[in-house]
Amino acid sequence: MRRTLILCLVASLPVAAQVAPVPTATELTSNPFAIKKSWPIGGAGNWDYLTMDAQARRLYIAHGRSVQVVDVDSGAVGGEIRGFREAHQIALDDTGEYGFVSDGLAASVAVFDRRTLDIEASIPIHFSPRSIAYEPQSKLVFAVCGATLVNPGGPVHVRPGTAPRTAPPQYGGLSHLVVVDAGKNSPIADITLGGDLRYAQADSDGHIYVTVGTAMEPRSYTSGSPYQEPTPPRIAKFDAAEILDAVRHLREGQSASASNEPVILDWSNSRNSASLLHFLPRHFFPLTNVCTNPQGLAVDANHQRLFLACDNQQFVVLDSNDAHVVASLTTGPGDDVLAYDPVHELIFIANGGGYGSLTIVQQDANTDSYTVVQNLPTMERARTLAVDSSSGEVYLVTDLHGVDLTKMGGIGTLRFDPVAGSFQVLVVGH
């Protein structure tokens, strides 16, 4: 019989505090959040983003080659959407009829019927999308295709006696934001940008915001000699109406066959291709040193605020009009995804690094102030989440890793692997 030693960090274990310091809450709520329960749902492969459909009481989880659909009232898997090569994120339209899934390895966006969970169409976009967002005013879907990873980073060799260092991953090349007409299930524009596009979020006023990390962007001198230059971290703001106007303008006079191809719009600083068209105005918000590299993003459209999770353990609030910093607070290690609950004025930041934690920030919209009210230990790798504003509950996912004791070897040869069937949903609430 195969023997596996399961190693995990549970919320109540005091040893977790030795892994990384827990940021101190400045005002502990009288009714703190806790992990109320967990739902083992199984499945195989890596996972990515979660999407909550509060009206249908469904939680969509991008998990490897499928999307698991969990009934949040029972905690059971109520269905599964299969046929993907690498599911990343699910976006839902405003009609309740359709959903969209970014499939990275397939370089496509799948359209599924939310009643039957059947895939209705697969839209080729020619790049590898991860994040995806639906903009309800224009009925457009925005697929985010980031820059290429050229160096995964890792430990840096230093002189003996000096402190060890870790190099961050490096990205190179250009990113693409592919715009899809949800009514026709066809791409209408390919927007090229410098930097590493990461996470997209729509507001209720026709805008899409995308976090952009540092990447080496190709350039060329006037003589034509190529070189590369790093782009700074920033926020890109897109106006859906401007994009539609640009598409209409550039398609005037085109043949019928050409009008079926997506329009190419260049927002990069590259001079490598004369075929790219500089048409749209540029809306970029530079970031200060308080956010060295932006990851997740949430939008408070009612108060014109952007919420950022940054990889230097910072939660940052920006004004969505001019991007000035409103507030900056410390989170936990490995902060990746955050979610905003407008009903309860709470922001939840999933920190999947180290022991795993959930930073909870209270918003006071009247005074435009933000306070860390709790840092809840969760589990390792619990780095993506979704919030249900109707119930106030938060959902995270993770799994357990263990060591196969039948394959013992020398020091350093033990390999930690996911435990089959251990993939689970953590339910956080009062």
From 51-65, 161-175, 226-240, the region with the lowest mean pLDDT: 161-175
Tokens standing for residue 210: 């995308």
Stretch 255-279: mean pLDDT: 64
Contact predicate 370/308, CB 8 Å: no
Total number of domains constituting the chain: 1
Average pLDDT over residues 399-409: 75
Tell me whether residue 242 is in a domain. yes
pLDDT over threshold 70, residue 126:
yes
Report yes or no on 260 lying in a domain.
yes
Confidence at 257, pLDDT banded by 50, 70, 90: low
- In the prediction, which pLDDT does 228 show? 76
Question: If pLDDT is split at 50, 70 and 90, which confidence band does 108 have?
Answer: very high
173 part of a folded domain:
yes
Determine phi and psi for 149, rounding to 5 degrees: -75, 120
**Does any domain span residue 59?**
no
Residue 408 lies in a domain: no
Task: Give the pLDDT confidence of 320-357 residue by residue, as tens digits.
Answer: 988 899 999 999 988 889 999 999 999 999 999 888 99
Share of the chain above pLDDT 70, in %: 78
Could you tell me the CATH number of the domain that includes residue 273? 2.130.10.10
pLDDT in tens, 54-97: 999 999 999 999 999 999 999 999 999 999 999 999 999 999 99
Residue 133 lies in a domain: yes
What is the predicted pLDDT for the residue at 111? Answer: 98
Examine residue 199 and state whether it is found in any structural domain, yes or no.
Answer: yes
pLDDT of residue 144: 97
pLDDT-based confidence at 15, cuts 50/70/90? very low
Domain of residue 123 covers 83-155+165-286
Contacts of 175 (CB under 8 A, 6+ apart): 144, 145, 146, 147, 192, 193, 194, 195, 196, 197, 212, 215
Is the residue at 310 inside a domain?
A: no
Buried b (16+ CB within 10 A) or exposed e, 204-214: eebbbbbbbbb
Predicted structure pTM score: 0.87
pLDDT at 272: 43
Residues 6 or more apart whose Cβ sits within 8 Å of residue 115:
97
Residue 275 has pLDDT above 60, yes or no: no
